[in-house]
A = this chain, B = another copy of it.
Amino acid sequence: MLNRPDVAVVGAGPVGLAIAWRCAQRGLRVVVHDAAPGSGASHVAAGMLAPVAEAYFGEHELTGLLTASAARWPAFAAELTAATGLDVGYRTEGTLMVGLTADDLAEARRLWAYQQGIGLPVTPLRPSALRDREPALAPRVRGGALAATDHQVDPRRLVPALRTAAERAGATLVPAAVRSLSDLDTDVTVVAAGCGAAALTGLPVRPVKGQVVRLRAPGGGAPGFRHVIRGYADGEHVYLVPRDDGEVVVGATVEERSDTDVSAGAVLRLLRAAVDLLPELAEYDLVETLAGLRPGTPDNAPILGLLPGRPGVLAATGHHRHGIVLTPVTADLIAELVVTGATDPLLAPFAPARFAPPPTVDARSGHDPSGHDPSGHDPFAPEKEHTWN
């Protein structure tokens, strides 16, 4: 029998496992609960570490967190490999952002100008310089830019490495699902359950479907390109992530759906955009088509910190498209919060309390004058299946 744990982590994706690792390193007794570790969004994710390419208009605080986490990645990957002997596929060739047509390039340049304007390292490249870097790019690609600091990691290698590291540091994995937080006998609970956080906490986390296609270079060799390539191709956004073992991840759709069916139209759009940008991909083997569900939030930013009115319960979810890049900073700062009770300033904008409902006129009676939530219950109350829209 286990001693009563100090910390229960719900969810053995990268975020949950990394939090467990950090907490165990600091001497806490940690148990991680997941019926199928690594089977969620990370199994589908490409593993881009792209705070620059992912910096969008108006998301200043998120960009800050992405940048801070990406900066931790080299040391994080090195520490993980030192602790486990496992390579996680961390690669530093950088990311090329490209536009296929003049219209695509115009759209891309608006974003690059914004990214440069907030001080991010984006270097526009002439077409000749682009082709010097990646000769396999289609001749009709009109232009591009380099985000040299946007790296990549392989999420399917990351999960077993994090699990090994967490277990070696003393954490225990319980291979079963958690149906209710009240089933956990612990001082602190960290909900890192991705989309599953909604049912467990009432937080406004919704599934955002993403479909990807995995290709493999023929003949067993490495792909014929080295950078991550993110492109606009006739209005379609696509990324191409090459791995040393020959794999190329082509992704990803962003769909407000909760099924994980692979659709003909999505595969068609991804392959068309991929082959338009890099014609040799037509001759690559198609080895996998897959869909997953990202944990999205109303403001597209993660939900990190203590749940109001729920002593000892923390959230580390809602990472949406950014779960892999945000793993190190989430683990470091959530572990710090668990151990010391201190909330790092970086975390403050992402507190769960930002989604607390406004006080109602007649809250005590349970009557909500807005009419939107006839139950009137606190959405953070335990065991409600409640998602906000």
Contacts and interface: CB of A to CB of B under 8 A. Distances in A.
Nearest to A267: B286
A261 interface: yes
Interface stretch (A12-20, A51-59, A102-110, A270-278): A270-278
Contacts of A289: 286, 289
B262 A286 contact: yes
Contacts of A268: 268, 271-272, 275, 282
Interface in A128-143: none
B282 A271 contact: no
Copies of chain A in the complex = 2
Contacts of A281: 264-265
A366 interface: no
Label chain A's interface by main secondary structure. helix
A263 interface: yes
A213 B286 CA distance: 12
A284 B265 CA distance: 8
Contacts of A267: 267, 271, 286
A283 interface: yes
A286 B213 CA distance: 12
A215 B267 CA distance: 12
A282 B261 contact: no
Contact of A265 (B261, B264, B282): B282
A218 interface: yes
A93 interface: no
A181 to B, nearest CB: 35
A285 interface: yes
A263 B218 CA distance: 9
Interface in A244-303: 261-265, 267-268, 271-272, 274-275, 281-287, 289
A174 to B, nearest CB: 34
Interface centre among A261, A264, A283, A286 (most CB of B within 10 A): A264
Interface of A: 213, 215, 218, 261-265, 267-268, 271-272, 274-275, 281-287, 289
Given A261-B285, A267-B286, A272-B272, 5 more contacts: A262-B287, A263-B282, A263-B283, A267-B267, A268-B275
Q: Which 10 A-B pairs have the closest CB atoms?
A: A265-B282, A268-B271, A261-B285, A262-B286, A264-B286, A264-B284, A267-B286, A215-B264, A264-B281, A264-B271
